[in-house]
Structure 1
Amino acid sequence: MTSLTLSAATLRVVATRGLHTQTVPTTTPGALSLIRSQPSHYVVASVAGRKYLLTPRDLLTVPRLKDVKVGDVIKLSDIHELGSREYTVRGSPTIPPEQVRVEATVVEHTKGKMEHIFKKKRRKGYERTVDHKQTYTRLRIGPIDIVENASS
Protein backbone atom coordinates (compact mmCIF):
# COMPACT_ATOMS: atom_id res chain seq x y z
CA MET A 1 0.00 0.00 0.00
CA THR A 2 1.42 3.33 -1.08
CA SER A 3 0.36 6.57 0.57
CA LEU A 4 1.25 10.14 -0.29
CA THR A 5 0.31 13.24 1.68
CA LEU A 6 -0.31 16.45 -0.26
CA SER A 7 0.30 19.57 1.78
CA ALA A 8 -1.17 22.18 -0.58
CA ALA A 9 -4.64 20.68 -0.96
CA THR A 10 -4.67 18.76 2.35
CA LEU A 11 -5.78 15.57 0.63
CA ARG A 12 -4.34 12.12 1.16
CA VAL A 13 -3.98 9.87 -1.87
CA VAL A 14 -3.79 6.12 -1.36
CA ALA A 15 -3.14 3.56 -4.11
CA THR A 16 -4.86 0.49 -2.72
CA ARG A 17 -4.35 -2.17 -5.37
CA GLY A 18 -1.12 -0.88 -6.83
CA LEU A 19 0.41 -4.21 -7.83
CA HIS A 20 0.11 -3.57 -11.57
CA THR A 21 -0.12 0.21 -11.47
CA GLN A 22 3.17 2.07 -11.38
CA THR A 23 1.68 5.58 -11.34
CA VAL A 24 1.54 7.36 -7.99
CA PRO A 25 0.17 10.89 -8.36
CA THR A 26 1.99 13.77 -6.71
CA THR A 27 -0.75 16.42 -6.98
CA THR A 28 -4.46 16.50 -6.24
CA PRO A 29 -5.50 17.19 -9.88
CA GLY A 30 -3.30 14.29 -10.95
CA ALA A 31 -5.00 12.00 -8.44
CA LEU A 32 -8.46 13.16 -9.52
CA SER A 33 -7.63 12.59 -13.19
CA LEU A 34 -6.47 9.04 -12.41
CA ILE A 35 -9.73 8.35 -10.56
CA ARG A 36 -11.71 9.95 -13.40
CA SER A 37 -10.05 7.55 -15.87
CA GLN A 38 -11.33 4.52 -13.91
CA PRO A 39 -14.69 2.99 -14.92
CA SER A 40 -16.65 3.14 -11.64
CA HIS A 41 -16.53 5.52 -8.68
CA TYR A 42 -17.73 5.66 -5.09
CA VAL A 43 -17.90 8.32 -2.39
CA VAL A 44 -18.19 8.29 1.37
CA ALA A 45 -20.52 11.16 2.24
CA SER A 46 -22.36 12.45 5.29
CA VAL A 47 -26.13 12.59 4.93
CA ALA A 48 -28.31 13.51 7.92
CA GLY A 49 -25.36 13.21 10.30
CA ARG A 50 -24.21 9.71 9.27
CA LYS A 51 -21.59 8.51 6.81
CA TYR A 52 -22.66 6.33 3.90
CA LEU A 53 -20.69 4.59 1.15
CA LEU A 54 -22.48 5.60 -2.06
CA THR A 55 -22.27 4.74 -5.74
CA PRO A 56 -24.35 6.12 -8.62
CA ARG A 57 -27.98 4.88 -8.81
CA ASP A 58 -27.99 3.76 -5.14
CA LEU A 59 -31.26 4.02 -3.21
CA LEU A 60 -30.49 5.41 0.25
CA THR A 61 -32.90 5.43 3.20
CA VAL A 62 -32.11 8.09 5.80
CA PRO A 63 -34.02 9.49 8.80
CA ARG A 64 -36.69 11.96 7.74
CA LEU A 65 -35.44 15.17 6.11
CA LYS A 66 -38.13 17.70 6.98
CA ASP A 67 -37.19 20.56 4.67
CA VAL A 68 -37.35 18.69 1.34
CA LYS A 69 -40.18 17.55 -0.94
CA VAL A 70 -40.45 14.61 -3.31
CA GLY A 71 -38.56 15.44 -6.49
CA ASP A 72 -36.13 17.89 -4.87
CA VAL A 73 -32.45 17.54 -5.77
CA ILE A 74 -29.99 17.71 -2.86
CA LYS A 75 -26.31 18.49 -3.36
CA LEU A 76 -24.12 16.40 -1.06
CA SER A 77 -21.41 18.72 0.26
CA ASP A 78 -19.75 16.64 3.01
CA ILE A 79 -17.75 14.16 0.92
CA HIS A 80 -15.06 12.47 3.00
CA GLU A 81 -13.62 10.04 0.45
CA LEU A 82 -13.65 9.55 -3.32
CA GLY A 83 -12.42 6.42 -4.98
CA SER A 84 -12.37 3.91 -7.78
CA ARG A 85 -11.12 0.35 -8.02
CA GLU A 86 -7.45 1.38 -8.04
CA TYR A 87 -7.21 4.75 -6.28
CA THR A 88 -8.68 6.57 -3.29
CA VAL A 89 -8.60 10.25 -2.31
CA ARG A 90 -9.42 11.09 1.29
CA GLY A 91 -10.18 14.58 2.47
CA SER A 92 -9.11 16.00 5.77
CA PRO A 93 -11.87 16.12 6.90
CA THR A 94 -13.76 16.64 3.60
CA ILE A 95 -13.01 17.03 -0.09
CA PRO A 96 -13.90 20.56 -1.29
CA PRO A 97 -17.22 20.68 -3.17
CA GLU A 98 -15.50 22.44 -6.09
CA GLN A 99 -13.65 19.21 -6.89
CA VAL A 100 -16.44 16.60 -6.63
CA ARG A 101 -20.18 16.98 -7.22
CA VAL A 102 -22.73 14.42 -6.08
CA GLU A 103 -26.47 15.00 -6.18
CA ALA A 104 -29.33 13.00 -4.69
CA THR A 105 -33.00 13.14 -5.69
CA VAL A 106 -35.74 12.71 -3.08
CA VAL A 107 -37.79 9.69 -4.18
CA GLU A 108 -40.29 9.39 -1.32
CA HIS A 109 -41.09 10.01 2.31
CA THR A 110 -42.04 6.75 3.99
CA LYS A 111 -42.46 5.10 7.37
CA GLY A 112 -40.83 2.02 8.83
CA LYS A 113 -42.56 -0.97 10.37
CA MET A 114 -44.84 -0.61 13.37
CA GLU A 115 -42.89 -0.74 16.63
CA HIS A 116 -44.75 -1.87 19.75
CA ILE A 117 -43.26 -0.53 22.97
CA PHE A 118 -44.63 -2.12 26.14
CA LYS A 119 -44.19 -0.29 29.46
CA LYS A 120 -44.95 -1.87 32.83
CA LYS A 121 -44.31 -1.19 36.49
CA ARG A 122 -44.23 -4.15 38.81
CA ARG A 123 -47.02 -4.57 41.34
CA LYS A 124 -48.58 -1.18 40.49
CA GLY A 125 -51.09 -2.18 37.82
CA TYR A 126 -49.39 0.13 35.32
CA GLU A 127 -49.24 -1.21 31.74
CA ARG A 128 -49.07 0.83 28.55
CA THR A 129 -48.49 -0.05 24.92
CA VAL A 130 -47.03 2.69 22.71
CA ASP A 131 -47.16 2.13 18.95
CA HIS A 132 -44.71 4.03 16.77
CA LYS A 133 -43.60 4.18 13.13
CA GLN A 134 -40.27 5.83 12.36
CA THR A 135 -40.30 8.24 9.39
CA TYR A 136 -37.71 7.96 6.62
CA THR A 137 -36.71 9.74 3.42
CA ARG A 138 -35.49 7.74 0.40
CA LEU A 139 -32.86 9.27 -1.86
CA ARG A 140 -31.65 8.17 -5.32
CA ILE A 141 -27.95 8.97 -5.79
CA GLY A 142 -27.06 10.64 -9.09
CA PRO A 143 -23.79 10.50 -11.03
CA ILE A 144 -20.49 11.33 -9.35
CA ASP A 145 -18.90 14.25 -11.24
CA ILE A 146 -15.19 14.84 -10.74
CA VAL A 147 -14.47 18.40 -11.90
CA GLU A 148 -11.93 18.56 -14.72
CA ASN A 149 -10.05 21.74 -13.77
CA ALA A 150 -10.12 21.52 -9.99
CA SER A 151 -7.96 24.22 -8.48
CA SER A 152 -5.77 22.89 -5.71
Structure 2
Amino acid sequence: MSSWIRPFRQVAARALHTQTTPASSVTASALANLRSQPQKYVVASVAGRKYLLAPRDLLTVPRLNDVRVGDVLALSEINEVGSRDYTLRGNPTVPPEQVRVHATVVEHTKGKMEVIFKKKRRKGYQKTITHKQTYTRLRIGPIEIVEPATQSS
Protein backbone atom coordinates (compact mmCIF):
# COMPACT_ATOMS: atom_id res chain seq x y z
CA MET A 1 0.00 0.00 0.00
CA SER A 2 1.49 3.30 -1.04
CA SER A 3 1.57 6.37 1.15
CA TRP A 4 0.08 8.42 -1.62
CA ILE A 5 -3.68 8.45 -1.40
CA ARG A 6 -5.63 9.39 -4.46
CA PRO A 7 -8.19 12.11 -3.76
CA PHE A 8 -11.77 11.00 -4.10
CA ARG A 9 -13.53 12.85 -6.87
CA GLN A 10 -17.21 13.08 -6.71
CA VAL A 11 -18.91 13.40 -10.03
CA ALA A 12 -22.14 15.25 -9.60
CA ALA A 13 -24.84 14.83 -12.15
CA ARG A 14 -26.06 18.24 -13.17
CA ALA A 15 -29.72 18.68 -13.72
CA LEU A 16 -30.72 20.25 -16.97
CA HIS A 17 -32.66 23.44 -16.47
CA THR A 18 -35.44 23.71 -18.94
CA GLN A 19 -37.46 26.85 -19.18
CA THR A 20 -40.92 26.76 -20.63
CA THR A 21 -41.11 30.54 -20.90
CA PRO A 22 -38.54 32.92 -22.38
CA ALA A 23 -36.28 34.75 -19.92
CA SER A 24 -37.60 38.17 -20.95
CA SER A 25 -41.17 37.27 -19.91
CA VAL A 26 -39.90 35.93 -16.58
CA THR A 27 -38.02 39.19 -16.01
CA ALA A 28 -41.08 41.23 -16.98
CA SER A 29 -43.29 39.33 -14.52
CA ALA A 30 -40.64 39.66 -11.79
CA LEU A 31 -40.47 43.41 -12.38
CA ALA A 32 -44.27 43.61 -12.26
CA ASN A 33 -44.25 41.77 -8.91
CA LEU A 34 -41.56 44.09 -7.58
CA ARG A 35 -43.42 47.18 -8.79
CA SER A 36 -46.45 46.19 -6.68
CA GLN A 37 -44.40 45.99 -3.45
CA PRO A 38 -44.52 48.96 -1.04
CA GLN A 39 -40.84 48.91 0.02
CA LYS A 40 -37.91 48.14 -2.24
CA TYR A 41 -34.13 47.98 -1.99
CA VAL A 42 -31.24 47.83 -4.43
CA VAL A 43 -27.68 46.59 -4.26
CA ALA A 44 -25.70 49.12 -6.29
CA SER A 45 -22.04 49.79 -7.01
CA VAL A 46 -21.00 53.31 -6.05
CA ALA A 47 -17.35 54.40 -6.21
CA GLY A 48 -16.20 50.80 -6.75
CA ARG A 49 -18.01 49.23 -3.78
CA LYS A 50 -21.39 47.57 -3.42
CA TYR A 51 -23.95 49.03 -1.03
CA LEU A 52 -27.40 47.89 0.09
CA LEU A 53 -29.61 50.94 -0.46
CA ALA A 54 -33.20 51.89 0.27
CA PRO A 55 -35.05 55.14 -0.52
CA ARG A 56 -34.07 58.13 1.66
CA ASP A 57 -30.85 56.44 2.87
CA LEU A 58 -27.84 58.64 3.56
CA LEU A 59 -24.73 57.04 2.04
CA THR A 60 -21.16 58.07 2.85
CA VAL A 61 -18.64 57.15 0.14
CA PRO A 62 -15.00 58.12 -0.45
CA ARG A 63 -14.71 61.59 -1.98
CA LEU A 64 -16.15 62.01 -5.47
CA ASN A 65 -14.08 64.86 -6.93
CA ASP A 66 -16.10 65.57 -10.06
CA VAL A 67 -19.46 66.34 -8.38
CA ARG A 68 -20.81 69.37 -6.53
CA VAL A 69 -23.34 69.72 -3.75
CA GLY A 70 -26.84 69.48 -5.21
CA ASP A 71 -25.87 67.37 -8.22
CA VAL A 72 -28.12 64.39 -8.97
CA LEU A 73 -26.35 61.16 -9.92
CA ALA A 74 -28.02 58.27 -11.73
CA LEU A 75 -26.82 54.96 -10.30
CA SER A 76 -26.16 52.82 -13.36
CA GLU A 77 -24.55 49.70 -11.86
CA ILE A 78 -27.46 48.04 -10.06
CA ASN A 79 -26.64 44.44 -9.17
CA GLU A 80 -29.90 43.47 -7.46
CA VAL A 81 -33.35 44.91 -6.86
CA GLY A 82 -35.75 43.42 -4.38
CA SER A 83 -38.40 43.70 -1.71
CA ARG A 84 -39.51 41.58 1.20
CA ASP A 85 -41.08 38.95 -1.07
CA TYR A 86 -39.25 39.18 -4.42
CA THR A 87 -35.68 39.60 -5.64
CA LEU A 88 -34.28 40.15 -9.12
CA ARG A 89 -30.53 39.71 -9.57
CA GLY A 90 -28.69 41.04 -12.57
CA ASN A 91 -26.21 39.11 -14.66
CA PRO A 92 -23.98 40.94 -13.59
CA THR A 93 -26.18 44.07 -13.49
CA VAL A 94 -29.82 44.91 -14.02
CA PRO A 95 -30.18 47.04 -17.19
CA PRO A 96 -30.59 50.75 -16.36
CA GLU A 97 -33.67 50.98 -18.60
CA GLN A 98 -35.53 48.65 -16.20
CA VAL A 99 -34.65 50.19 -12.82
CA ARG A 100 -33.83 53.83 -12.06
CA VAL A 101 -32.24 55.08 -8.84
CA HIS A 102 -31.00 58.64 -8.32
CA ALA A 103 -28.70 59.95 -5.60
CA THR A 104 -28.33 63.61 -4.64
CA VAL A 105 -25.02 64.95 -3.36
CA VAL A 106 -25.74 66.36 0.12
CA GLU A 107 -22.25 67.43 1.23
CA HIS A 108 -18.52 66.94 1.01
CA THR A 109 -17.17 66.26 4.49
CA LYS A 110 -14.16 64.94 6.38
CA GLY A 111 -13.90 62.08 8.84
CA LYS A 112 -12.36 62.13 12.29
CA MET A 113 -8.71 62.98 12.84
CA GLU A 114 -6.49 59.97 12.19
CA VAL A 115 -3.18 59.90 14.08
CA ILE A 116 -0.30 57.83 12.71
CA PHE A 117 2.73 57.50 14.99
CA LYS A 118 6.00 56.14 13.60
CA LYS A 119 8.99 55.23 15.78
CA LYS A 120 12.27 53.38 15.42
CA ARG A 121 13.63 51.91 18.62
CA ARG A 122 16.93 53.21 19.94
CA LYS A 123 17.37 55.64 17.03
CA GLY A 124 15.63 58.71 18.40
CA TYR A 125 13.24 58.72 15.43
CA GLN A 126 9.65 59.64 16.20
CA LYS A 127 7.16 61.04 13.74
CA THR A 128 3.47 61.89 14.14
CA ILE A 129 1.31 62.22 11.04
CA THR A 130 -2.32 63.37 11.22
CA HIS A 131 -4.92 63.59 8.49
CA LYS A 132 -8.67 63.59 7.92
CA GLN A 133 -10.14 61.36 5.22
CA THR A 134 -12.50 63.13 2.79
CA TYR A 135 -15.98 61.77 2.08
CA THR A 136 -19.03 62.57 -0.04
CA ARG A 137 -22.53 62.06 1.37
CA LEU A 138 -25.35 61.01 -0.93
CA ARG A 139 -29.12 60.93 -0.31
CA ILE A 140 -30.78 58.05 -2.17
CA GLY A 141 -33.97 58.93 -4.04
CA PRO A 142 -36.94 56.72 -4.87
CA ILE A 143 -36.43 53.38 -6.60
CA GLU A 144 -38.34 53.46 -9.88
CA ILE A 145 -39.06 50.20 -11.67
CA VAL A 146 -39.88 51.20 -15.24
CA GLU A 147 -42.83 49.61 -16.97
CA PRO A 148 -41.92 48.12 -20.33
CA ALA A 149 -43.19 50.08 -23.31
CA THR A 150 -46.19 48.33 -24.81
CA GLN A 151 -45.99 47.77 -28.52
CA SER A 152 -49.13 48.83 -30.32
CA SER A 153 -50.01 47.05 -33.52
In structure 2, list runs of 5 or more residues that go unmatched. 1-17
Whole-Å Cα distance in 1 between the matches of residues 143 and 149 of structure 2? 15
| Identical pairs, percent | 73
Whole-Å Cα distance in 2 between the matches of residues 103 and 133 of structure 1? 28
Query: What is the root-mean-square deviation in Å for CA atoms of aligned residues?
Result: 1.9
**Number of residue pairs matched by the alignment:** 132
What is the aligned partner in structure 2 of residue 97 from structure 1? 96
Q: Does 1:51 align with 2:72?
A: no
Q: Does 1:84 align with 2:83?
A: yes
From the superposition, tell whether residues 150 and 43 of structure 1 become closer, same or farther in structure 2 (CA, over 3 Å): farther
Whole-Å Cα distance in 1 between the matches of residues 149 and 115 of structure 2? 51
Q: Once the 2 structures are TM-superposed, how far is the Cα of residue 77 of structure 1 from its aligned partner?
A: 0.3
The TM-score, its normalising length taken from structure 2, stands at 0.82
Aligned residues of 1:29 and 1:150 also touching (Cα < 8 A): no
Larger radius of gyration: 2
The TM-score, its normalising length taken from structure 1, stands at 0.82
Helix, strand or coil at the partner of 1:27: helix
Aligned residues of 1:45 and 1:79 also touching (Cα < 8 A): yes
What is the aligned partner in structure 1 of residue 63 from structure 2? 64
Aligned residues of 1:99 and 1:150 also touching (Cα < 8 A): no
Whole-Å Cα distance in 1 between the matches of residues 35 and 23 of structure 2? 21
Q: How does 1:141-152 map to 2 (within 5 A)?
A: 141-149=140-148
What is the aligned partner in structure 1 of residue 11 from structure 2? none
Q: Cα deviation per residue 1:116-145 (whole Å; 9 max; x = unaligned)?
A: 100011111110000010000000000000
Residue identity in the other structure for 2:68: K
Whole-Å Cα distance in 2 between the matches of residues 49 and 98 of structure 1? 21
What is the aligned partner in structure 1 of residue 133 from structure 2? 134
In structure 1, list runs of 5 or more residues that go unmatched. 10-25
Q: Cα deviation per residue 1:44-79 (whole Å; 9 max; x = unaligned)?
A: 000001100000000000000000000000000000
Whole-Å Cα distance in 2 between the matches of residues 126 and 67 of structure 1? 39
Q: Once the 2 structures are TM-superposed, how far is the Cα of residue 7 of structure 1 from its aligned partner?
A: 6.5
Q: Cα deviation per residue 1:76-97 (whole Å; 9 max; x = unaligned)?
A: 0000000011000000100000
Aligned residues of 1:43 and 1:79 also touching (Cα < 8 A): yes
